[in-house]
Amino acid sequence: MLAQRILTAALLIPLVAGGVLYLPTFWMALAFGLVVLLGASEWARLAGIRSPAWRALYLFLMAAVLWLVSLLLPHPDWTFWLFAITAAGWLLGMAGLARVRDIGQMPPGPCPLRAAAGLVVLATAWAALVALHGEAADGPGLVLFLLVLIWVADSGAYFAGRRWGRVKLAPAISPGKTREGVYGALAGSVACALALVWWRPDLGGPVALVPLCLLTCLVSVEGDLFESLLKRQAGVKDSGALLPGHGGVLDRIDSLIAAAPVFVSGLTLLGAAR
């Protein structure tokens, strides 16, 4: 399993990094849109949508929502509020996830509220990445930085949790995650923030960028926990089986879905994005 994870990551990371840095924004938007549609197919399963016909309808709705959100991209004032409101929703839900003590099985049949939530969070994350890639100075580099921030935080959480993990973070949702792992993720995010300060000192220095990266890191952990909650309620281990050793697409982008609107909102306030 570990060998599969390493091999899959070794293939995906250069592909993703190259696409972010060298694809024009239009093609990057289409590529990430395909990823979102794959994730939406898995989300439909977690929302109890089993029928192929209903799942196809859900994917059609996802594509329609992406198109509608794309119409907002030329209007940065509107997109800022879209990202800020979504980010606020993630922040408000952060404390609630850690307090979950009992997880019941999802009732049979589709859950409309869960399905609607998937449309919102997936489309907003897509729009945040596309807006940052195309509208900000050094947009592709900042998108890649966000990805690296999440990867570093995830690795920091994994190694710190294995070495020092004692206190469970949310045992009912994800027994393997510990508070010590979160501290490792936060330490990694500080290192990334200092690298961003060195690269883009015009964004406000460590006083602004360290808190932004710490907050983005915490919300990325929440995104991971939220997807774990959905999987437990749906009675599945992975969201899918598309990526060997990693599970499904949602298993790889759950942190990014939550972190993107937070990071882009923060950069907008700092003047790095319109």
Confidence of residue 3 (pLDDT cuts 50, 70, 90): low
The rounded mean pLDDT for the chain is 88
pLDDT of amino acid 242: 62
Mean pLDDT along residues 225-235: 87
Domain span including residue 260: 2-270
In angstroms, the Cα distances linking 35 to 21, 42, 58, 153, 190 are 17, 11, 15, 22, 29
Q: How many structural domains does the chain have?
A: 1
Beta carbons of 67 and 29 less than 8 angstroms apart: no
Dist. CA 121–CA 86, nearest whole Å: 7
Q: Output the pTM of the full model.
A: 0.92
pLDDT one-digit tens code per residue, 139-191:
999 999 999 999 999 999 989 999 998 898 888 888 888 999 999 999 999 99
Handedness of CA 261, 120, 253, 96 (dihedral sign): positive
Tokens of 242: 């598309």
Dist. CA 128–CA 83, nearest whole Å: 7
Q: Residue written as tokens 């907050």?
A: 215
As a whole-number percent, the residues of the chain with pLDDT over 90 amount to 63
Beta carbons of 31 and 25 less than 8 angstroms apart: no
Mean pLDDT along residues 25-40: 96
Confidence of residue 253 (pLDDT cuts 50, 70, 90): very high
Beta carbons of 73 and 127 less than 8 angstroms apart: yes
Give the phi and the psi of residue 108 in degrees, each rounded to 5. Answer: -60, 150
In this predicted structure, the answer to whether residue 251 has a pLDDT above a threshold of 80 is yes
Radius of gyration of the chain (CA): 18
